[in-house]
Every structure is written in C-alpha cells, then in structure tokens.
C-alpha cells in the first residue's frame, strides 16, 4: 500500500518536472541521432546492425542510472527522505515506490530509444525480435533505476553521483561486451565485466539480433538480469540511510 | 508524572568529534521542554538520536518507554518530527503534503483529520495552494501539520521558529501551548534564548554537554540585576543577585531620602543568563 502511495508521488513529481522529463526522453534520442551522423561520416561501412541496439541499451542504462540517483539524492538533500522514514515509510516501500513510479518513464524511454534506432538505422527485425529487444531494454532500465537508488546512498549531494560514472558506467562500456567479446579480455577484466548488469542485457541482445536466434539461449541471462533487480532492491533497502 | 523521554549517559562521536557528551535528561509527559544552545551545540544530533535517525555511540535512550532504534517502527507511530528545514514537496499543495506524510501510518479518516489540522494551523484557505508559493513561515506551519497529523504523543521540533517573523513566532508558540495543554509532550530545540521563557523546563546545551536543566524562572533567578540609584544628580551603579533581600540591603545602604530622585533596576534577560552560564563553563 505504502509502495503505491510513494509510486503515485514519484509519478506526480516526474509529471511536474518538465525539464527532467524532457531530458529523460529527448536526450537519449538526440544522442542516438548524433551517433547516426557519426556512423554516416565513416568512409568504410560500420557494423551498425551489430552495434546500434547494444549502444542504445547502454545510453538508456546510463541515463536511467544517473537521473534516478539524482532524484533520490534530491530527496535526501531536501530532507524529504528522512521525513518519509520518520513518518513511518519503510526503506523497501520507498525503493519499490520509486521503481514503480519510474517504470512508466522507463517504458517510454525504452520504446523511444528502440524505435528511433530501428527507424534511423533501418534495422529490419521481426515483430517478435523487436518485442524481446524492448523487454530486455526495459528490464535494463529497471536495473539502472535500482542501481541509481543504491548508489544514491553513498552521495550527500547531487555532485557525489558523478564519481560513480567512471566507477560503474564507464567499465560497462569497455568490459561488458559492447564493442568486444568479454572472453577476449584478461581473466580479471572478464570477471569485472560479468559482474556488471549490462553484460547480461548485451548477451540477450547479441543473441536476439542474430538472423537465426534461439530464445532458450537467453533464459539464463534473463534470469540473471531479473535477479539483479531483486539483489539491488535488497541491497538498496539495507543501505538506504535516513540522514545525509 | 511519567517521563516521555529518558536519556542516560548518551554519547555520540563522529570520529574524534564528540557531538554529545554524557547526556542525562528526563522529559515529563505533557510539558514543553526546551533544548537551548548556540548553533553547533548538538541539538539536532540529540533530536535525531531521539527519533531513531541516528545510532548513539553509547548510552540509553527511551522515548515513551521504547528504544528509538530497536522499536523504531512502533515508536514512529507515536512520535512527530518537525525538521529544521521544511522538508516538504514544493510541487504538492499543503493538503497533499499532509496527506502524503500522514498516509505512512494508515490513519483512519485521514481526509477529515487533515482538514482539522489545517484549521488548527489556520491554513484552511491555502490548503490547495502549492507549497512552492508559500512564505517560509507558512511552510513551517505545513511542516508542523505533517508532524502532527497522526496525533503523536510526543513531537520533536528542531528549531521550529528559526528565521520567521515575530508575529508568526508568537502564533506557533500559541499552538505549542495548546498542544501541551491537550497532553502532547513537545521537545523543542532553539538557539533563541528568549524562547526558553515559554518552555516548562529548559536544558542548556553547549558543545554536546548539558550545562543546566531547570525551569525558566529558576534560571532567571541565576541572573544579576543592575541597580542604578541617582542621588543629588549622581548615579551610582551596583550589581546584586535576584534575591529580593539583596535589593532591600542595597537600598538600606542609601536610605530612602528626598535626595534620591530615581531607582532603576536592570535585570539580566534570559540571553544574558544563558550566555553567562555558557561563558562560565568555557572558562572552567
């Protein structure tokens, strides 16, 4: 019950913050358009079909993480997080409420990013593939929201969120299989890459965009990605502090 | 009278900094208890320890007979907390803010109670206005409503009257007295010494240490009075303590004759007394 009350509050907050909403939806679309310009400028053909959906997933992962972390840190700096807890809302309700509240936005973001990529880069996938891609990107967005909430615990103000970008987000670019296969990395780097949730989302995407894919090859990755949601929920519930 | 709060040997350290040093306090139920001290004295830290938002380094804290950490969720149904900053959602109306924070406790008949609390705070006319359009003082009143909506037995108010105009300050204190008269215990921190006079009991806190606990009247008695006696156009000044006998003794020295044209008394105010208590402690 309290989870839904907080979710309603988050939705209202998002609706009221037009600048935040615009940034959340328009920014990834602009970045993808810039990528289109970049890839078009290359003289030799670029493996767009293999790269574009994984890159789109990463962009959304990054934005959901950072925006949600900042929202939670704002709650902390304004004192409303502390007040919520002292009023009787529990950590798990707050995290659940935030996630559900953000779900609508994450759905719009995932759909917008996916359809823009398909349209701009003229990627021709079956309806089933597109649906699975949407589900993966959507799940990744939820994981990113959870990760943002978890990281917000370690930040006293909005600026403290940024050091986590080189710590968590940038390694995802290099070590999770976005540009190269993780198996080609040194053992320790491969281990780090496999600890990051983007790796499992990319595994699914790489499989699904194959002309002849097998859905059963993605079950484990889907399970791990979903497991990340529960793991981060528990971690964030345990670590969400009341005071700055 | 039972105690709403009992603190025994409470200490809180932040690394090498001792924020609270061996605090002992007892707050009787249904009273206004003032925690007076300059900025940085440890008032907020003490309140956070009482509402279970902070883990003490050592010592025992009981609020309404419960441990604020162990019995956190049970206790929070019975306490109200008004933080130093308004801590409200600017994009919600006054009413929606109160409903949101009140919903945490699943209070029956919340809508009606919200209407009542808004009327108590004289905010009925502005109930549906967004908090972002409110003055600082009005935000404080909304914040107080959020702390009171679930009809708590004890309310912790952290500097509730800081940075608001004297008229509103008076209004808030009127509300505090009304609450205390209805049996609610109020634990109020302030750095405004004159507010100590409005409390039933006062503790003076400096650098994490309780210097004195007493009623405001008893504290006032610790002050000095400057006696200015004008005789034949010459004004003599002497300082006496607050005992009525001391004034009589001083006047006997002069005898009341026709040459004495005026006798003026300048007693210390609460601020002078508190500052002198803090000053004495610093010299020790």
For chain B, the structural domain boundaries read 3-219, 222-283
* All residues at 6 or more sequence positions from A56 whose CB lies less than 8 Å from its CB, including other chains: A28, A32, A113, A114, A116, A117, A137
| CB spacing of A83 vs B91 below 8 angstroms | no
Instruction: Give B101-140 pLDDT, tens digit per residue.
Output: 999 988 888 999 999 999 988 899 999 999 999 988 899 9
| CB spacing of A80 vs B91 below 8 angstroms | no
pLDDT at B145 exceeding the cut of 60: yes
pLDDT at B222 exceeding the cut of 80: no
Closest CA to B155 of B5, B1, B271, B2: B5
| CB spacing of A243 vs B53 below 8 angstroms | yes
Please give the CATH number for the structural domain made up of B3-219. 3.40.50.300
Across the interface, of A9, A16, A86, the residue whose CB is closest to B51 is A86
pLDDT at B245 exceeding the cut of 80: no
Crossing angle of helices A127-152 and A91-120, in 10° steps, is: 140
The reply to whether ipTM tops 0.95 is no
Closest CA to B101 of B122, B80, B120: B80
**Displacement of CA A226 from its chain's centroid (Å):** 13
| Cβ atoms B88, B97 nearer than 8 A | yes
| CB spacing of A16 vs B52 below 8 angstroms | no
pLDDT band at A121 (very low <50, low <70, confident <90, very high): confident
**Residue to substitute from A83, A93, A97, A242, interface B, most B β-carbons within 10 A:** A83
Across the interface, of A1, A12, A79, the residue whose CB is closest to B87 is A79
Chain A hits for B101, CB-CB cut-off 8 Å, are 83-84, 87
pLDDT band at A170 (very low <50, low <70, confident <90, very high): confident
Chain A hits for B52, CB-CB cut-off 8 Å, are 86
Question: Mean pLDDT over residues A103-121, rounded?
Answer: 89
Across the interface, of A5, A82, A90, the residue whose CB is closest to B83 is A82
Phi, psi of B131 (to 5 degrees): -65, -25
pLDDT at A163 exceeding the cut of 60: yes
Q: What pLDDT is stored for residue B126 in this prediction?
A: 94
CB of A167 within 8 Å of a chain B CB? The answer is no
Question: Mean pLDDT over residues A89-110, rounded?
Answer: 88
Q: Are strands B234-241 and B185-190 parallel, antiparallel or unpaired?
A: unpaired
Chain A hits for B103, CB-CB cut-off 8 Å, are 2, 5
- Alpha helices by DSSP H, listed for B104-243, are 110-120, 136-148, 166-181, 216-221
Name the percent of chain B lying above pLDDT 90: 49
Instruction: Give B8-39 pLDDT, tens digit per residue.
Output: 999 999 988 899 999 999 999 999 999 998 88
| CB spacing of A86 vs B91 below 8 angstroms | no
Max avg pLDDT among B78-82, B162-166, B272-276 = B78-82
> In angstroms, what separates the C-alpha of A153 from chain B's closest C-alpha?
15
For chain B, the average pLDDT equals: 87
Q: In this predicted model, which residue has the larger pLDDT, B268 or A127?
A: A127
Name the percent of chain A lying above pLDDT 90: 27
Lowest mean pLDDT, pick from A75-84, A122-131, B235-244: B235-244
Lowest mean pLDDT, pick from B54-68, B213-227, B261-275: B261-275
Integer Cα distance of A39 and A44 in angstroms: 9
Nearest CA in chain B to A93: B104
Q: What is the domain extent for residue A229?
A: 2-239
Across the interface, of B87, B91, B105, the residue whose CB is closest to A83 is B87
- Helix/strand/coil (H/E/C) assignment for every residue in A154-191: CCCCHHHHCCHHHHHHHHHHHHCCCCCCHHHCCHHHHH
Domain count, chain A: 1
Question: Mean pLDDT over residues B164-169, rounded?
Answer: 82
pLDDT band at A244 (very low <50, low <70, confident <90, very high): very low
> In angstroms, what separates the C-alpha of B1 from chain A's closest C-alpha?
27
pLDDT at A90 exceeding the cut of 60: yes
| CB spacing of A243 vs B48 below 8 angstroms | yes
Q: Which two tokens stand for residue A226?
A: 């979903």
CB of A49 within 8 Å of a chain B CB? The answer is no
Across the interface, of A79, A89, A243, the residue whose CB is closest to B104 is A89
pLDDT at B282 exceeding the cut of 60: no
CB of A9 within 8 Å of a chain B CB? The answer is yes
Lowest mean pLDDT, pick from A221-225, B58-62, B203-207, B265-269: B265-269
Q: Which two tokens stand for residue B155?
A: 């309310």
**Residue to substitute from B104, B139, B152, interface A, most A β-carbons within 10 A:** B104
Q: In this predicted model, which residue has the larger pLDDT, A169 or B61?
A: B61
CB of A156 within 8 Å of a chain B CB? The answer is no
Instruction: Give A185-196 pLDDT, tens digit per residue.
Output: 888 988 998 999
Angle at A169 between CA A164 and CA A171, to 5 degrees: 110
| CB spacing of B53 vs A9 below 8 angstroms | no
Q: What pLDDT is stored for residue B251 in this prediction?
A: 75
Across the interface, of A79, A80, A88, the residue whose CB is closest to B105 is A88
Q: What pLDDT is stored for residue B29 in this prediction?
A: 92
Chain B hits for A9, CB-CB cut-off 8 Å, are 89, 92, 100
Max avg pLDDT among B8-12, B251-255, B257-261 = B8-12
Question: Mean pLDDT over residues A42-68, rounded?
Answer: 83
Instruction: Give B43-74 pLDDT, tens digit per residue.
Output: 999 999 999 988 999 999 999 999 999 998 89
> In angstroms, what separates the C-alpha of A212 from chain B's closest C-alpha?
51
Tell me, yes or no, whether A193 lies in a domain: yes
Integer Cα distance of B209 and A243 in angstroms: 22
Question: Mean pLDDT over residues A117-126, rounded?
Answer: 88
Name the percent of chain B lying above pLDDT 70: 95
Integer Cα distance of B67 and A84 in angstroms: 20
Tell me, yes or no, whether A201 lies in a domain: yes
Q: What pLDDT is stored for residue A242 in this prediction?
A: 66
């Amino acid at each position: 019950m309290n989870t839904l009350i907080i979710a309603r509050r988050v939705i209202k907050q998002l609706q009221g913050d037009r600048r935040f909403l615009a940034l959340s939806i328009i920014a990834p679309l602009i970045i993808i358009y810039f990528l289109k310009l970049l890839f078009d400028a290359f003289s030799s053909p670029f493996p767009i079909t293999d790269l574009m959906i994984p890159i789109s997933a990463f962009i959304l992962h990054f934005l959901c993480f950072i925006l949600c972390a900042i929202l939670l840190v704002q709650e902390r700096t304004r004192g409303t997080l502390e007040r919520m807890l002292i009023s009787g809302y529990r950590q798990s309700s707050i995290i659940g409420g935030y996630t559900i509240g953000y779900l609508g936005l994450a759905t719009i973001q995932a759909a917008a990013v996916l359809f823009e990529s398909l349209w701009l880069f003229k990627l021709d996938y079956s309806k089933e593939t597109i649906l699975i891609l949407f589900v993966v990107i959507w799940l990744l967005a939820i994981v990113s929201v959870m990760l943002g909430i978890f990281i917000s615990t370690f930040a006293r103000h909005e600026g403290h969120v940024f050091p986590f970008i080189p710590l968590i987000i940038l390694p995802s670019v290099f070590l999770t299989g976005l540009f190269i296969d993780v198996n080609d990395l040194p053992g320790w780097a491969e281990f780090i890459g496999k600890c990051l949730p983007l790796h499992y989302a990319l595994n699914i995407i790489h499989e699904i965009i194959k002309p002849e894919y097998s859905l059963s090859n993605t079950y484990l990755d889907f399970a791990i990605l979903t497991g990340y949601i529960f793991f981060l929920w528990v971690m964030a519930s345990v670590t969400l502090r009341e005071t700055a | 009278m039972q105690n709403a709060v009992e603190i025994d040997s409470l200490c809180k350290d932040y690394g090498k900094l001792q924020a609270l040093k061996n605090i002992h306090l007892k707050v009787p139920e249904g009273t206004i208890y003032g925690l007076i001290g300059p900025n940085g004295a440890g008032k907020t830290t003490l309140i956070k320890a009482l509402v279970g938002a902070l883990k003490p380094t050592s010592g025992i804290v009981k609020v309404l007979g419960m441990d604020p950490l162990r019995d956190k969720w049970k206790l929070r149904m019975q306490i109200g907390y008004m933080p130093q900053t308004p801590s409200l959602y600017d994009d919600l109306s006054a009413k929606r803010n109160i409903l949101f924070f009140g919903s945490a406790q699943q209070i029956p008949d919340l809508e009606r109670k919200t209407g009542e609390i808004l009327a108590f705070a004289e905010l009925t006319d502005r109930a549906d206005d967004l908090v972002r359009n409110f003055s600082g003082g009005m935000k404080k009143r909304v914040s107080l409503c959020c702390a009171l909506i679930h009809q708590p037995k004890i309310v912790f108010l952290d500097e509730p009257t800081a940075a608001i105009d004297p008229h509103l300050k008076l209004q808030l204190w009127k509300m505090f007295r009304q609450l205390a008269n209805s049996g609610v215990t109020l634990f109020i921190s302030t750095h405004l010494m004159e507010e100590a006079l409005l409390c039933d009991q006062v503790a003076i806190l400096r650098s994490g240490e309780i210097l004195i606990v007493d009623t405001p009247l008893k504290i006032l008695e610790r002050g000095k009075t400057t006696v200015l006696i004008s005789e034949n156009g010459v004004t003599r000044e002497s300082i006496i303590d607050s005992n009525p006998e001391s004034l009589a003794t001083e006047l006997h020295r002069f005898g009341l004759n026709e040459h004495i044209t005026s006798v003026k008394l300048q007693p210390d105010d609460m601020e002078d007394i508190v500052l002198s208590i803090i000053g004495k402690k610093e010299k020790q």
